[in-house]
Structure 1
């Protein structure tokens, strides 16, 4: 076996561990993400998983990064070409709404779970979760300013509140009307398209 193939396989294995880690953490939280759990789930040895990360915190950071990349790809990229201004802000809100109700991750939105888990726990994992949330907030605020809405900060705050309510109502209460209610709230906030 050539060294190049071994490196490629190692990268592929690491990516698979991280991908599965995102799914596990969406349900059980980042603290529920253990080397032993991943090893069992993936049919690997603990040392085989640990060899890719070194410790749990490094694994958690890799999972947060991957979850952020996936969120950006799933929510922002599909609507990035929408004309700037209110049409793009509405498109972003719609894309976010669809993402939250898609059940793409088994535990729902990774960041809506990780935020409360790490909001008051200082350290690199909290900083990574907060950094991703801050990036999203800055993008929403930028879009709200391009849309020339009154009080962009308030609009972004309320939009985030609608999405949090949607996530909770959809995931915890299993309310079949959650998406419809959230869409109506967004339409009231941003005006009908």
Structure 2
């Protein structure tokens, strides 16, 4: 019976931890990681501050756990859809579509979590900076690998500068996210998608493997119109 009770406590603790992190990633995407506090989360979620402290230990511990939780969400919404397509231009374009949907649909209320958090911590040192730098490096590596796969299949020209193309694709996606968040519209996503298509067609051995044009998009509404009043619970 003791082990059953202990297991129940562990499960409840993990559910509480995920509930807290589900709220934390949404707050941080809008207000920054410095906007997080153990007391605030306890109050908003109706939890004891001591219980929240026991789960994370410190504000830095909470911030690091929030970054890890955001990485898991990013993997689910961007990396996994990309990997569902065979290597080549199709996978490369699927990656761009998945990233645009992730930002446009406000998986995080403030747009891309990592765009905002990196800007907040890029000039700082410490564990949170290092965690964000590691996440950013992982994303760049994934983009480069996806491009290299397309080159290896012969669908991108042999002389394609993989690192340069990855830099350009990421820059266009991030600018679309920044414009959408700042201007409260979705216009930048189509511009970024068109620019990426032009760049990929120029490097493709057979441009016909890429979409001839962008699919029709729904009317552009202010991004915030689609946001729930409260962050969804996990």
The offset of 1:45, in angstroms, is 2.2
Residue range with higher mean Cα deviation, 75-84 or 132-141: 75-84
Q: Is contact 2:92-2:147 (8 Å) kept?
A: yes
Given the two structures, how large is their TM-score scaled by the length of structure 1?
0.95
SS in 2 for 1:44: coil
4+ runs of 1 displaced by more than 3 Å? none
Normalising by structure 2, report the TM-score: 0.79
Shift of 1:81: 2.3
Once the two structures are superposed, the pairs formed by residues 68-87 of structure 1 within 5 Å of their partners are 68-87=71-90
Partner of 1:167: 177
Gaps of 5+ in 1: none
What root-mean-square deviation, in Å, do the aligned CA atoms of Structure 1 and Structure 2 show? 1.3
Largest Rg, 1 or 2: 2
- Name the SS for the 1:3 alignment partner: helix
Name the counterpart of 1:136: 139
Cα separation, 1, equivalents of 2:23 and 2:184: 24
Is 1:32 aligned with 2:47? no
CA distance in 1, matches of 2:143, 2:170: 9
- Is 1:117 equivalent to 2:120 in the alignment? yes
- In the TM superposition, 1:2-21 aligns within 5 A as 2-21=5-24
2:200 maps to which residue?
190
For 1:186 and 1:151, the matched residues in 2 are separated by: 15
